[in-house]
Chains A and B, each alone.
Chain A
Amino acid sequence: MTSARPKIDFDAKIPNNVDLASDRKLQRALERWQPNFLDWWGDMGPAVDTKDVYLRTAVDVGREGWAHFDHVPMNEYRWGVFLSEHDPDRKIAFGEHKGEPVWQEVPGEYRADLQRLIVIQGDTEPASVEQQRFLGATAPSLYDMRNLFQVNVEEGRHLWAMVYLLHAYFGRAGREEADQLLQRNSGSDDSPRILGAFNEETPDWLSFYMFTYFTDRDGKYQLGTLKESGFDPLSRTCEFMLKEEAHHMFVGTTGIDRVVTRTAQLMNEHDSEDVAGAGGIPLDTIQKYINFHYTVSLDLFGNESSTNAANYFTAGLKGRWQEERRKDDHVLTDDAGAVDAVRDGQITTSEVPALLALNQDLRSEYIGDCSNGLKRWNRILEKHGIDRRLTLPHVGFNRHVGAFADHHITPEGRMVSTEEWKANEGRWLPTEVDKTHVRGLMHPVLEPGKIAGWIAPPTNGINDKPVDYEYVHFN
């Protein structure tokens, strides 16, 4: 049984801190899965033909180890498996197992729930790679193209991280789930990705920045709650993933910074809000893109009132954002919380047991975080002497999940009829005209240091390299 299969030099090929070289179970699982992953990457990963890309590879969890930069051919990228440092004294911080030592193995009682949580998280990782597959072809600069690929390989590594958990802890069922993570595809009719937002295409770079700002931020919050998990390997995996996720959001934040900056420059140059004709993206369009991506991401948090979230919390599987910094009993059986509701045509709140309000709790944290970006972009507008401000729409706007799903609510938070909604939808959400305009701006700029006209250059390069560094080499 052991002699026939080709040996893979695991530690060299797969950087890891999980002792892969001596774990027969993991080796066997990965030997089968890794070729399928490479096939998937070839078929569904970045479509641009490059020689190598200046990428960061995590080779260890320490400060030095996880920021190792070099030019690497994409298909030779070394996807690794990393867990943050092990804390032997860690205790479960919440729920009915509060105070007990964290679990190093999957408790059978929670196998199904944990597997589900990991599969859903894992499904989003390759999905975004699929959604962004063709973006490289229209990159506004080599710097941006490199960032896109960095995001892509790291989403790939996050898939590896989830697959590691499935392989290492969930037996045969886990291996089957890991296989299916490669078999579902974003936007596929037959076997789509699990969450709706991950079946939407990312057709242009403005969408990409919006996605990395808003949708990846949802990922940050989900990972943050899983980091609290009583299942220690999941917790440690997510903690390390959060470090990488921070870079993705940096790409989104600074990407939108640069779009807004360029728009403001063009507005001042032409003394007009209508910068479309000058090859820019009007603030109106930016606002509509914000409206769309923000609200689609809000839907990812699920229903305001959720028994699943309550069960996960009580079982110790998924905590709250920054659980241990919160000042309450961490059990919540006696507390109440308010959730958004629509009653008698009025937007209001309902009081429910705190355990049922955990999705809303997490969404509120997320909304607070999102508003930081708006402040930042409005400061840019202010600095350019422009009075117009960008805003986050009302939480009930354009929602398809939860209390607002069956209602039409304007960005200002006014409930309106279907007719009024239909008449104004094009003022609030990107229209075909808007999208066509944005797509029309997407032309690749492949010369080092050059930048497309609709976006400002970055202020700094990657890893102290200059902005005009040759981040991507082509064949």
Chain B
Amino acid sequence: MTVLEDAPATSRAPGSEPVPQVDFDTDPSRYRHWRLEIEGETAWVYLDVAEDGGLVPGYELKLNSYDLGVDIELYDITQRLRFEHPEVRSVVLTSGKDSNFCAGANIRMLAQSSHPWKVNFCKFTNETRNGIEDMTAHSGQTWVAALNGTAAGGGYEMALACETILLVNDRSSAVALPEVPLLGVLPGTGGLTRVTDKRHVRKDRADIFATKSEGFQGPKAVEWKLVDETVSRKQWDSTVRARAAEAAAASHRPTPSGGLVAQGITLPPLQREVTEDAITYPNVRCAIDRDARTATITVLGPEAGTVPESLERIHALGADFWPLAMTRELDDLILRLRTNELEIGTWLIKTQGSIEGALAFERVIAEHSGSDWLVNEIRHYFKRTLKRLDVTSRSLIALIEPGSCFAGALLELALACDRQYMLEGTFEDQDGSAEEQDPAQIVLTESNFGAFPMGNGLTRLQSRFYGDDETVEELAGRTGERMTGADAEEAGLVTDAPDDIDWEDEIRILLEERASLSPDALTGMEANHRFVGPETMETRIFGRLTAWQNWIFNRPNASGDEGALRRYGTGRKADFDRKRV
């Protein structure tokens, strides 16, 4: 990962601060802040931050504190463990420093960052931590936090994402959430939420813990359920190993059955071409219209007839296997647009390719995802990528046109959007004769009914038809049906199905109208509409905790010149506006 000083694409609006261009590529040979060691069924992940390795200038990453660059490497580690190390069944997260585990997000970095930067950083951090929990739950790679020193703030939040937390009992190491008392902000990347929702700490104790800057050492931390176990230095190594082994033994990760399928695949660098107004990958294209402030994202479907005939063939293709290749590219694109293209407020989601091809690949995934580790990983990766879309603060509009392949899993892309527009019939060319093509169609498959749940635990169809299970049930009876625009509109699967006479005007006016609305109001409105119904820990983190944190970030008590975040480390106290709001 690097910050590209002279990146071709720029998010500089006149008069605004330049936004550093962030690149999410990395690999273990380039890590500056982490060491990854694989030992049989256990992976050892050491946080060992290079003080001078900050992503942007202006701060030193002291005390194993982190910034977005550190998190980008952690995300890369999670992906490599999933795909390159099928044998790994437990992961130990620990510190490479002698003195402490992790002091959390770097405060000077937070203090100097723009609001969008902080928000993007926190969002990505949250997604990676959710991904760690997803590994434990669905990949059979169970994470164990081995806190060999104090874990404060984001450091403890990172540990909270693990299934088990061990804290060394050395009469000085502690776990703490000092954000409220020291910085005037929240432990906002899952901290507050996981303490109560995941670790079931009583709310009055959680209140004490979150306002006590020094936190608690081992015994008390165990008593209050903040950690699972505290271990003396003498017993530390053996206990950590024992817990890692136990976790590995309990793992449900499919045991590789030998041969090619037992080996990990390689995640090579992405093929990506970036120009002023386009980001192009083999399977995903993005064209940016800066005047209209839109990005048109086209996912290219698989070619019909290229579906691998065997599991061995899938493993041999590895990162070239279309569903994985496409998902990696889409994931990268979402991250880049989110971080680097702040003013591109509307994303138009399209697909292009053969519906037959998309359905054929889907059948392969369905057949093997229960038994083969790789296919299972691909499914969950696509699930997490869809979730990234769900929490993306951009207006998402699906445009379903002839030649598209919104079928099954790819239909989820459309369902993730705020609105779906589908052409009824075909486009007529200028002579008035229909081009030789079928009308746009969409196809529901079984994977729309549970394979890719949202953060709220519901499918996108259940979210769309919230409180109307009957409709969802009826739609379940229509899997495999090729629906035209009129069918899809009637079934409630698309917002509108204009014909070719109306299409251009309707879409143009819609986009111009959208572009004129307040970006902040849109972000809030879209997030509210996307996540209906039940709260989960995930939605509480992305909704409540993040929303409150982002409010606090914007308030002078945190970010003003006299606010706690800015005054931290200056020797001067924050000067609060004492009014409760």
Q: Which residues of A contact B501 (CB under 8 A)?
A: 24-25, 28
A105 proximity list for chain B (CB < 8 A): 505, 508
Whole-angstrom distance between the Cβ of B420 and the nearest chain A Cβ:
16
Q: Is the CB of B502 within 8 A of A25?
A: yes
A 1-42 contacts with B by CB, 8 A: 1-2, 24-25, 28
CB of B513 within 8 A of CB of A109, answer yes
**Which residue from B432, B498, B499, B511 sits with its C-beta under 8 Å from A108?**
B511
Please, how many residues of chain A have a CB less than 8 angstroms from a CB on the other chain? 16
Our pick among A2, A28, A109, A170 for the contact of B432 (Cβ within 8 Å) is A2
A334 to B506, CA, bound (A): 37
Q: B514 contacts which chain A residues (CB < 8 A)?
A: 108
B513 in complex: contacting residue of A1, A111, A169, CB < 8 Å: A111
B506 touches A108 (CB 8 A): no
Cβ of A416 to closest chain B Cβ, rounded Å: 48
Q: Which residue of B lies closest to A107 (CB)?
A: B512
Cα distance, A108 to B508, chains bound together (Å): 7
Task: Give every chain B residue within 8 A of A171 (Cβ-Cβ).
Answer: 498, 502, 505-506, 509
Give the residues in chain A near B287, CB-CB below 8 Å.
none
Instruction: Mark B357-377 against chain A: 1 for CB-CB distance below 8 A, else 0.
Output: 000000000000000000000
Which of A2, A24, A28, A111 is within 8 Å of B509, CB to CB? A111
Q: Answer whether residue A116 sits at the interface, using C-beta atoms and an 8 A cutoff.
A: no
- Residues of chain A within 8 A (CB-CB) of B432 are 2, 24
Tell me whether A108 and B516 are in contact in the complex, defined as CB-CB below 8 angstroms, given that A1-B425, A2-B432, A24-B432 are known contacts: yes
Counting CB contacts under 8 A, is A443 at the interface? no
Bound state CA distance, A105 and B505, in angstroms? 9
| B270 contact set on A, CB distance < 8 A | none
Question: Residue B515 at the A interface, CB < 8 A?
Answer: yes
Asked if A223 lies at the interface with its beta carbon under 8 angstroms from chain B, I say: no
State whether the Cβ of B510 lies closer than 8 Å to any Cβ in chain A: yes
B479-504 vs A, Cβ < 8 Å mask (1 yes, 0 no): 00000000000000000101101100
Shortest distance between the CB of A167 and any CB in chain B (Å): 11
Q: How far is the CA of A107 from the CA of B509 in the complex (A)?
A: 7
CA distance A112 to B512 in the complex (A): 12
CA–CA, A232 to B506, complex, Å? 19
B513 contact set on A, CB distance < 8 A: 108-109, 111-112
| Secondary structure call for the A interface | helix
Tell me the minimal C-beta distance from B343 to chain A in angstroms. Answer: 16
Q: Which of A112-149 contact B (CB under 8 A)?
A: 112
Interface residues of A in 21-78 (CB under 8 A from B): 24-25, 28
Nearest opposing residue in chain B for A115, CB measure: B509
A165 near B: Cβ within 8 Å?
A: no
CB distance from B318 to the nearest CB of A (A): 45
- Residue from B499, B506, B515 in contact with A109 in the complex, judged by beta carbons closer than 8 Å: B515
Q: Which of B502, B515, B516 contacts A172 (CB 8 A)?
A: B502
B421 to chain A, nearest CB (A): 11
**Beta-carbon nearest neighbor of B506 in chain A:** A171
Residue on A nearest B505 in the bound complex, by CB:
A171
**Shortest Cβ distance from A174 into B: residue:** B505
Question: CB of A106 within 8 A of chain B?
Answer: yes
- A169 x B505 contact (CB < 8 A): yes
| Set of chain B residues within 8 Å of A109, measured between Cβ atoms | 512-513, 515-516
- Say yes or no: A111-B505 contact (C-beta < 8 A), given A1-B425, A24-B432, A171-B498: no
Chain B residues, CB < 8 A from A24? 432, 501
How many angstroms between the C-alpha atoms of A28 and B502 in the bound complex? 10
A248–B505 Cα distance when bound, in Å, is: 36
As a 0/1 sequence over residues 436 to 463 of chain B, the CB contacts with chain A under 8 angstroms (1 = contact) are 0000000000000000000000000000
Of B511, B515, B516, chain A has the most CB atoms within 10 Å of the CB of B516
Instruction: Write out, one digit per residue, whether chain A residues 159-202 have a CB within 8 A of any chain B CB (1) or not (0).
Output: 00000000001111000000000000000000000000000000
Does the CB pair A111–B512 fall under 8 Å? yes
Nearest B residue to A110 via CB reads B516
Interface string of A343-355 (1 = CB under 8 A from B): 0000000000000
Q: Residue of A at shortest CB range from B514? A: A108
CB <8 Å contact, B502 and A106:
no
How far is it, in angstroms, between the C-alpha of A209 and the C-alpha of B511 when the chains are bound?
47
The distance in angstroms between the C-alpha atoms of A171 and B499, with both chains bound, is 11
Q: Is A108's CB under 8 angstroms from B502's CB? A: no
Closest chain A residue, CB of each to CB of B512: A108
Residue of A nearest to B499 (CB): A1
Q: Closest residue to A25 on the B side, CB-wise?
A: B501
**Residues of B with C-beta under 8 A to A111:** 509, 512-513
The B197-235 residues at the A interface (CB cut-off 8 A) are: none
State how many angstroms separate the Cβ of B106 from the closest Cβ of chain A.
41
Residue of B nearest to A26 (CB): B501
The answer for the CA separation of A109 and B510 in the assembled complex, in Å, is 9
Q: How far is the CB of A31 from chain B (nearest CB, A)?
A: 12
In chain B, positions 394-440 with a C-beta closer than 8 Å to chain A are: 425, 432
Give the complex CA separation of A2 and B510 in angstroms: 27
Min C-beta distance of B566 to chain A, whole Å = 35
Within the complex, the shortest CB–CB distance from B342 to chain A, in Å, comes to 20
**Complex CA distance for A1 and B433, rounded to whole angstroms:** 11
Interface residues of B in 239-297 (CB under 8 A from A): none
A320 to chain B, nearest CB (A): 24
Q: How far is the CA of A2 from the CA of B498 in the complex (A)?
A: 16
Q: A24-B432, A25-B501, A171-B502 are in contact. Are A108 and B509 (CB under 8 A)?
A: yes
Q: How far is the CB of B4 from chain A (nearest CB, A)?
A: 33
Complex formed: what's the CA distance from A166 to B381 in Å? Answer: 47
User: A112's closest neighbor in chain B, by CB?
Assistant: B513
Distance A25 CA – B504 CA, assembled complex (angstroms) = 11
Q: Are B425 and A108 in contact (CB under 8 A)?
A: no
A107 CB contacts on chain B under 8 angstroms: 512
A25 surroundings in chain B (CB, below 8 A): 501-502, 505
Q: How far is the CB of A1 from chain B (nearest CB, A)?
A: 6
Among A106, A108, A172: residue with most chain B CB under 10 A: A108
User: Complex: how many Å from CA A2 to CA B499?
Assistant: 12
In the assembled complex, the CB of A21 is this many whole angstroms from the nearest CB of chain B, namely 13
CA of A111 to CA of B501, assembled, Å = 18
CA distance A105 to B506 in the complex (A): 12
**Chain B's nearest CB lies how many Å from the CB of A237?**
18
Interface residues of B in 167-191 (CB under 8 A from A): none
Complexed CA–CA distance, A25 and B428 (Å): 12
- One digit per residue, 1 when the CB lies within 8 angstroms of any chain A CB and 0 when it does not, for chain B 506-529 equals 101111111110000000000000
Chain B residues closer than 8 Å to A108, beta-carbon distance: 508-516
Distance in angstroms between the alpha carbons of A274 and B299 in the assembled complex: 86
B512:A172 contact, CB within 8 angstroms: no
Interface string of A244-284 (1 = CB under 8 A from B): 00000000000000000000000000000000000000000
Bound CA–CA A172/B511 (angstroms) = 15
- A170 CA to B513 CA, complexed, in Å: 12
Bound CA–CA A86/B134 (angstroms): 63
CA A106 – CA B512 in complex, angstroms? 9
Assembly CA distance A28 to B512 (angstroms): 25
Q: How far is the CB of B126 from chain A (nearest CB, A)?
A: 33
Query: Which B residues touch A112, using CB under 8 A?
Result: 513
- Contact of A172 with B498 at beta-carbon distance under 8 Å, contacts A108-B515, A108-B516, A109-B515 already known: yes
Bound Cα distance A1, B505 (Å): 20
What is the minimal beta-carbon distance from B62 to any residue of chain A, in angstroms? 48
Q: How far is the CA of A171 from the CA of B497 in the complex (A)?
A: 12
In the complex, besides A105-B505, A170-B505, 16 extra interface pairs with C-beta distance below 8 angstroms are A1-B499, A2-B432, A24-B432, A25-B502, A106-B509, A107-B512, A108-B513, A109-B515, A169-B505, A170-B509, A171-B498, A171-B502, A171-B506, A171-B509, A172-B498, A172-B502
Q: Give the 4 A-B residue pairs with the shortest CB-CB distance, closest first.
A: A108-B512, A109-B516, A108-B513, A108-B509
> Which of A's residues lie within 8 Å of B, judged by CB?
1-2, 24-25, 28, 105-109, 111-112, 169-172
Contacts A/B (CB < 8 Å), 27 sampled? A1-B499, A24-B432, A24-B501, A25-B501, A25-B502, A25-B505, A28-B501, A107-B512, A108-B510, A108-B511, A108-B512, A108-B513, A108-B514, A108-B515, A109-B515, A109-B516, A111-B509, A111-B512, A169-B505, A170-B505, A170-B509, A171-B502, A171-B506, A171-B509, A172-B498, A172-B502, A172-B506
